[in-house]
Chains A and B, each alone.
Chain A
Amino acid sequence: MSSFRLSTGGRIDRANPLDFTFDGKPMQGFAGDTLASALLANGRQLVGRSFKYHRPRGILTAGAAEPNALVTVGEGGRTEANTRATLVELYSGLTAKSQNRWPSVDFDLGAVNSLLSPFLGAGFYYKTFMWPAAFWEKVYEPIIRKAAGLGRATYEPDPDSYEKCWAHCDLLVIGSGPAGLAAALTAGRAGARIILADEGFEPGGSLLSETAPIGEQSAADLLTQTLAELTSLPNVRIFSRTTVFGWYDGNIFGAVESVQKNTATVDPNRPIERIWRIAAKHAILASGAEERPLVFGGNDIPGVMMAGAMRSYLNRQAIAPGKNTVIFANDASGYATAADLEAAGLDVTAIIDSRPDASRLWSGKARVLANSVVLDANGGKNVKGVTVLNNGRPETIAADALAMSGGWSPIIHLACHRGAKPVWSDAKAAFLAPETQEGLTIAGSAAGLGGLEACLADGAGKALSVLRALGFSNTSAAFAPAADKTIVSRPLWRVRGSKGKAFVDYQNDVHLKDLGLAVSEGYGHVELAKRYTTNGMATDQGKLSNINAIGILAEARKVSPADVGTTTFRPFYTPLSFGALTGASKGKHFQPVRKSPLHDWAKKHGAVFVETGLWYRSSWFPQAGETSWRESVDREVLNVRKNAGICDVSTLGKIEIYGKDAAEFLNRIYCNAFLKLPVGKARYGLMLREDGMVYDDGTTSRLSENHFFMTTTTAYAAGVMNHLEFCAQALWPDLDVQFASSTDQWAQIAVAGPKSRDILQTMVDEDISDAAFPFLGAKEVSLCGGKLTGRLFRISFSGELAYELAVPAGYGEAVADAIMEAGKPHGICPYGVEALGVMRIEKGHVTHSEINGTVIPSDLGFAKMVSTAKPDFIGKAMLSREGLTADDRLSLVGVKPLDPATTFKTGSHILAEGAVPSLDNDQGYVSSSCYSPNVGSTIGLALVKRGPKRHGEHVTVWNDLKNEYTRAVLCSPVFFDPENEKLHG
């Protein structure tokens, strides 16, 4: 016989039937069912196969600790593997599949592993898959990988959305059982801002399945009344379906709320799950206690269930576990289950209790076998009976269901997330966490208490103390004090003399003998035993098994559980979906997109964009008939050098610097002199790190006595700003200097080429002739007859006569259009960063390809720029270090192939001609390269040992990745217009 639904009773809504499927088979449950209870109602007890031995497994618990009933829920992109059926709220259209079985859960070929079990004990991986070493990658690993894991993740994208939010409260109450409710009610009445979070879809915790009265009132009525009052209080928020999974710094709690996991028709405008970061002044942990399984043979056969879970299914969802139930307990919980079963008209065949004085607890019909244990549960895919050792005499009892209770362990995970260690209490026979820590108090059975009245009283009392500490003085406890009346029994860690496998960790198939083996082989330390046996690993992290394993290790080592200790509790309490952790940060929301104010202008001219960091930069502008990017780039380069070109350089970092000490400040920031930079002039500046290496470069202009305008490279804009702020605020707070980033405020346009002056003069109202506005001029200008004010700089990255014009961002596109219009008769063309790159390599100008964190100014040919007169600047002291003054440093040099028809790639290494290719013979590397239409071949910049002294030397460019060798010659890094005639034109 299997489990079935009783015709009356429970908190289910029988008027609201829900259709679902399990392994393709249509089934029906009711609103108020979990997937687990609905499966039990349909007589489905075998729901999965175990990890290692592929043993048939059923539903063991009714909560978060479930190790067996892991199923795959949903289809397509919504497929979710290893979902605990005990926590899935049933909904219409739910599809669930069993896992780790082939071809079916009822007939699974993997079960052959059970026959191999003598070879699959603890540590078998380490022992079996040792030799030969060559087998690891090709044979062992593929086999292990194929066998490993339970459910399979989907490769399809997740169609749902997730979000993250903050919540703030005076008191966070975790768990809505008796202690949590009492705490919330006490604090709610006091007017404190409360968040009450519970993982279940209905608040109430154990009250939802409690039949014992509280005073004059039934548990159900107390729950209804309390929830009604809490709901009516505007200062109380109740978060159902919300698991608090971690306790973090600053008393922040992480919680995940299941928003739409309970429906097949997901609203795309709402998230499926939501991560809450709850900032709580204080929290009360009322997470309850976990019932411990008993360790005897066959304790994993479907039909064996935790006594508390059986009682919960019976009272909440009207599930009968079978026709004849046997209870095996050394705890009062077994008797409560037996009493409720009998009250529901179900037969309890026997209560087997390991304690000698057990029968005095019982006034029901079932016979009580004191001083007795279950040696073995018998059966295959379901329980058929039990073999009992009744006061030393073996006896077989027929049964189709078996409840077990080995006592209760407080759920203290969250209380230990910030380093507190659980302490073993002999009096409570349990590991307890410190009852009060800063920001967190434990209440109810999580603090080791037993009994409803005691938990209600404890929750109320603890809340009262917390409230007083928070300054809520005018308040009283919602429930009267009550003593803890629980009788704590000596734990029964294991049964001796079982024939079958006695499982400790169900999810990892760790049985009693594995732990014994770990101790006898020297892995008895709790952390070692965990790794050696895998006890306490995987999705349940040993919620059900850890305490038993500690007890068993303690017995085997002949010490107290206190001496064994626990493994470390870490977030998350329960598994979290990657989707929830990712939140909204996916797809186009993964990172922000930065678009230049000239983005649309570039787009309209057909730009191909390239992502550089967050920016989209125009890369080149293909014209009709051009078939390759090179064709476009070559044309752009030649046209700029012959006529003119316009390029968007708005992405460069721009920083406005003000203050009467601004010049002094810049003088300390740059390695070259800035103190006497005249107003109206720009200067190329080189910024070092404190270790002497070049950090960034750019031009800085003096627009007035106390106002400078700095440009940085695109990549280091934010870093330079932080650096300036650090220097000004932390190093030299006495200097009067202030900064404002204006990168986004200016559209900056480079106009380069021999015709650039003619073009710009049509728009700039002031005279910009070479005499009036020579190279490195920088000033505010009036544009288009006074319509607009901009900033004009005569600076050049291309080596041509060139200007950069900055205008307020909103005018960028109009000004670029006007330049294009004015430039039409002069043959102007837009050019992108590729052409820009070609021209700067032709001129030997460096970028971060060369400024790569390993170079000092002299490596780049900037030795003369470094001021010797300045008393101090960032990087000065370290520049004189031995290694930085060595004469064989890698230094900037040009390189080009001897045969122009041959080429080489950036990143290739330089070998002396004829040298054997090896790292020992490595002379340096190519840092930048391109095809130069002006030179007519590939050209490169390289950092080579003593490079500047080796112009004219033949070398080999070596690309070991492609096994390519190119004969080349080292040369000046300036390939074009070495006298800078065009620049000054």
Chain B
Amino acid sequence: MASLIACPHCGPRPKEEFTIRGDAGITRPTPDAGEDAWYAYVYLRDNPRGRHKEHWHHTSGCRRWLVVERDTMTHAIYAVSDASAPGETA
């Protein structure tokens, strides 16, 4: 069933309009960061219980990539911001 995600551009919208990508806490390494950093970036993911920041795409809306901070246990959403300016909520 649905929950609402407060898109900073479109307001509260049903989650069916969004697509989840995954962990937003990882940063793309520099090209010369070395094998380990790249391996971690491409393959290694934490599966935390509780608060977690994820990339969600407002696919059927404004088509912006968002950082959604939510609780993986309760599904409560704490904050949503645009991926280009994470942390700044509208």
Contacts and interface: CB of A to CB of B under 8 A. Distances in A.
A877 B31 contact: yes
B69 interface: no
A729 B8 CA distance: 14
Given A248-B1, A252-B2, A254-B1, A419 B65 contact: no
B55 A877 contact: no
Contact of B1 (A246, A691, A726): A246
A44 to B, nearest CB: 39
B33 to A, nearest CB: 7
Contacts of A246: 1
Contact of B75 (A249, A690, A725): A249
Given A248-B1, A279-B4, A876-B31, A729 B21 contact: no
A722 interface: yes
A439 to B, nearest CB: 11
A885 to B, nearest CB: 13
Interface string B64-86: 11000000011111000011110
Interface in A864-904: 871-872, 876-878, 881
Contacts of B74: 418-419
B84 A730 contact: yes
A906 B43 CA distance: 32
Contact of A249 (B3, B21, B85): B3
B65 A729 contact: yes
Given A691-B42, A730-B55, A252 B3 contact: yes
B33 A877 contact: yes
B65 to A, nearest CB: 4
A729 B83 contact: yes
Nearest to A731: B28
Contacts of A725: 57, 63-65
Contact of A726 (B15, B65, B75, B77): B65
Q: Is chain A's binding surface mostly helix, strand, loop or mixed?
A: mixed
A722 B33 contact: no
B29 interface: yes
B31 A726 contact: no
Nearest to B35: A881
B19 A722 contact: yes
Interface in B13-68: 14-15, 19, 21, 24, 28-31, 33, 35, 38, 41-43, 55, 57, 59, 63-65
B52 to A, nearest CB: 15
A733 interface: yes
Nearest to A571: B1
B90 to A, nearest CB: 15
Interface residues of A, number: 26
A876 B77 CA distance: 35
Contact of A722 (B15, B59, B75): B59
A49 interface: no
B33 A730 contact: no
Q: Is chain B's binding surface mostly helix, strand, loop or mixed?
A: loop
Interface string A217-253: 0000000000000000000000000000010111010
Interface in A936-970: none
Contacts of B33: 877
B61 to A, nearest CB: 12
B83 A730 contact: yes
B55 A726 contact: yes
Nearest to B57: A722
Contacts of B31: 871-872, 876-877
Interface string A716-746: 0000001001100111010000000000000
A193 interface: no
Contact of B21 (A726, A872, A876, A878): A726
Scoring A246, A277, A691, A725 by chain B CB atoms within 10 A of each residue's CB, the highest score goes to A725
Given A691-B42, A722-B19, A726-B57, A250 B2 contact: yes
A252 B1 contact: yes
Contacts of B75: 249-250
Contact of A690 (B35, B42, B57, B63): B42
Interface string A248-270: 11101010000000000000000
Contacts of A277: 1-2
A691 B28 CA distance: 12
A234 B65 CA distance: 40
Interface string A681-701: 000000000110000000000
Contacts of A726: 21, 55, 57, 65, 83
A611 B29 CA distance: 41
A407 to B, nearest CB: 33
A165 to B, nearest CB: 12
Contact of B3 (A248, A722, A881): A248
A865 to B, nearest CB: 18
A725 B64 CA distance: 7
A729 B82 contact: yes
Contacts of A730: 24, 55, 65, 83-84
Contacts of B21: 726
A877 B29 contact: yes
A733 B42 contact: no
B3 to A, nearest CB: 3
A249 B2 CA distance: 7
Interface in A551-589: none
A729 B42 contact: no
Contacts of B42: 690-691, 878
Contacts of A871: 31
Nearest to B5: A250
Contacts of A250: 2-4, 15, 75, 77
Nearest to A875: B42
A730 to B, nearest CB: 4
A872 to B, nearest CB: 4
A661 to B, nearest CB: 14
Nearest to B4: A250
B39 to A, nearest CB: 8
A731 B41 CA distance: 13
B38 A877 contact: yes
Interface string A475-518: 00000000000000000000000000000000000000000000
Interface of A: 166, 246, 248-250, 252, 254, 277, 279, 418-419, 690-691, 722, 725-726, 729-731, 733, 871-872, 876-878, 881
20 contacts: A246-B1, A249-B75, A250-B3, A418-B74, A690-B41, A722-B59, A725-B57, A725-B63, A726-B65, A729-B83, A730-B24, A730-B65, A730-B83, A731-B28, A733-B84, A872-B31, A876-B31, A877-B31, A878-B38, A878-B42
The 8 closest A-B pairs by CB, nearest first: A250-B3, A733-B84, A249-B3, A248-B1, A730-B83, A249-B75, A872-B31, A729-B65
Given A166-B14, A729-B83, 4 more contacts: A249-B2, A254-B1, A725-B63, A733-B84
